[in-house]
Amino acid sequence: MKKFLALWGVWAITVASAQQAPAPAKGVPQSSTGTISLDVTRVNFLFAVTDKKGRFVTNLVQDDFEIIESKKTQNILEFVAESNLPLRLGILVDTSNSIRDRIRFQQEAAMEFLKSVLREQDKAIVVSFDSSAELIADMTNDMDKLEKSVRQLRAGGGTALYDAIYFTSRDKMMQDQPMHKFRRAIILLSDGDDNQSRYTREQALEMAQKADTSIYTISTNITKMPSDGDKVLKYYSEQTGGTYFSPFKASDLSQSFENIANELRCQYNILYRPEPLKTDGLFQPVTIRVKTRKDLIVRTRKGYYAPRS
C-alpha cells in the first residue's frame, strides 16, 4: 500500500506541477484560479457505427440519429463526422503474479498495438499494475521510449486493476482540453482479476466515464474457458463503448488492432443540451440510435454523470 501511495503521490505532484498556470485552451473558459471550467449544460458523445458484420458506416448525417435521455428525444445542437482527432491512449499492462507466464504475450501485444495505431499527433502512456499501479512512460509520441518502457516490464505481486483504471482516467486522460477535441481510450491487457485495489470496479468505471474514455480489453486468459475475470473485462468494454478481445496468441491480434484503429478514426461527434437538465451528480443513461436504419449498431458509452449543483 505504501508503494501505491508513493507512486501515485509522485504522479499527482508531477501532474500538478505540469499543469500549474497552463495556457488557456481555445474555446474553454478559465476561472480566476486557472482551473478549467466546462459548459456543463451541454453533453458530448463520440461514437462509432457498424453494421451487423462489424463493418464501419461513415456516411450518416445528423438527421439519421436520435438521442434518448430521460425517455425524451433530445435536440442535437452540433454534429460532425470525425476522422482525424488526436488520440490519447493509456496502455495498461497487468504485471501481477497471475499472468507471470503470459508477460511476454502482453509485451508483444502492447508493442504491436502502438506500432499499428500511433501517429505523430497521437500520444500514449504506459502503466503497469501488480500490487499497485506504476506510471512507466508518461504521455508521449516517442515510439522508442514507449517500446523501451514495455520491454522492461516484469511480473510479480497482487493485482490492482481497478486502481490502474481509476488513476489513469482521473490523472491522465482528462489532461488535454477541450475534451471533445481528443479521442481517449484505454487498452487494457489483463486476465481481469483484482485482489489489491483500494477502489471498486464501479468507482473505476465511473472515473473512466467521467473522462469520456473507452476501454478496449484484451484477455490474457489462454484456457479458452470463460472466467470471472473475462466477465469483468467485457463489462468495462460494454459500459464504455469499447470492445473485448480474447486472442490465443499475439499474432492473432493484428486484425483486432486494425479494427480498433479504424474505430478510433471513424467517429461521429454529437453535442446536445439535456432536457430536462439534471444537476444531481448522478449517472444519466443515454441511448443513441440510427433511426433510419434498424440494422446498424451504435457503439458508445452508456451515459454520463450530471454535474452536481
The residue among 127, 85, 96 whose CA lies nearest residue 215 is 127
Query: Would you state the pLDDT for residue 18?
Result: 37
β-strand 244-245 against 283-290: which pairing, if any? Answer: unpaired
CA 32, 33, 35, 41 dihedral sign is negative
Residue 7 burial class via C-beta count within 10 angstroms: exposed 0-12, middle 13-18, buried 19 and up: middle
* Same domain, yes or no: 291 and 194: no
Q: What is the reported pTM?
A: 0.84
* Same domain, yes or no: 52 and 63: yes
Helical segments of the chain, H only: 2-18, 103-117, 143-151, 161-171, 201-210, 228-240, 254-265
Q: Which residue has the cell 488513476?
A: 167
Query: Would you state the pLDDT for residue 268?
Result: 94
The answer to whether the bond into 285 is cis (omega within 30° of 0) is no
* Same domain, yes or no: 206 and 137: yes
Write the Ramachandran bin of 31: left for phi over 0, alpha for psi from -120 to 50, otherwise beta: beta
Q: Give the cell for residue 304.
A: 454520463
Question: Residue 157: what residue type?
Answer: G
* Same domain, yes or no: 167 and 287: no
* Same domain, yes or no: 237 and 198: yes
* Same domain, yes or no: 252 and 115: yes
d(Cα 2, Cα 20) in Å, to the nearest integer?
27
State which residues form the domain around 274.
Answer: 43-83+266-305
In angstroms, what is the C-alpha Rg of the chain? 19
User: Is residue 25 in a domain?
Assistant: no
* Same domain, yes or no: 271 and 177: no
| Domains identified in the chain, total number | 2
Q: Which residue has the cell 522492461?
A: 152
Question: Residue 201: what residue type?
Answer: R
* Same domain, yes or no: 78 and 170: no
The answer to whether 308 touches 282, Cβ cutoff 8 Å, is: no
Q: Which residue has the cell 445542437?
A: 77
User: Is residue 121 in a domain?
Assistant: yes
User: Is residue 13 in a domain?
Assistant: no
Query: Would you state the pLDDT for residue 285?
Result: 96
* Same domain, yes or no: 58 and 135: no
DSSP state of 85: P
d(Cα 109, Cα 253) in Å, to the nearest integer?
7
Query: Would you state the pLDDT for residue 39?
Result: 52
User: Is residue 38 in a domain?
Assistant: no
User: Is residue 3 in a domain?
Assistant: no
User: Is residue 36 in a domain?
Assistant: no
* Same domain, yes or no: 72 and 183: no
User: Is residue 196 in a domain?
Assistant: yes
Query: Would you state the pLDDT for residue 25?
Result: 33
* Same domain, yes or no: 174 and 110: yes
CATH code, domain carrying 93: 3.40.50.410
The answer to whether 119 touches 307, Cβ cutoff 8 Å, is: no
Question: Could you list the mean pLDDT of each consecutive 10-residue stretch along the chain, which spans 309 residues?
Answer: 42 38 34 40 92 92 96 96 91 93 88 90 96 96 95 93 98 90 94 96 97 94 88 97 85 77 88 94 96 94 91
Please provide the size of the chain in residues.
309
The residue among 179, 203, 237, 174 whose CA lies nearest residue 45 is 179
* Same domain, yes or no: 241 and 260: yes
User: Is residue 216 in a domain?
Assistant: yes
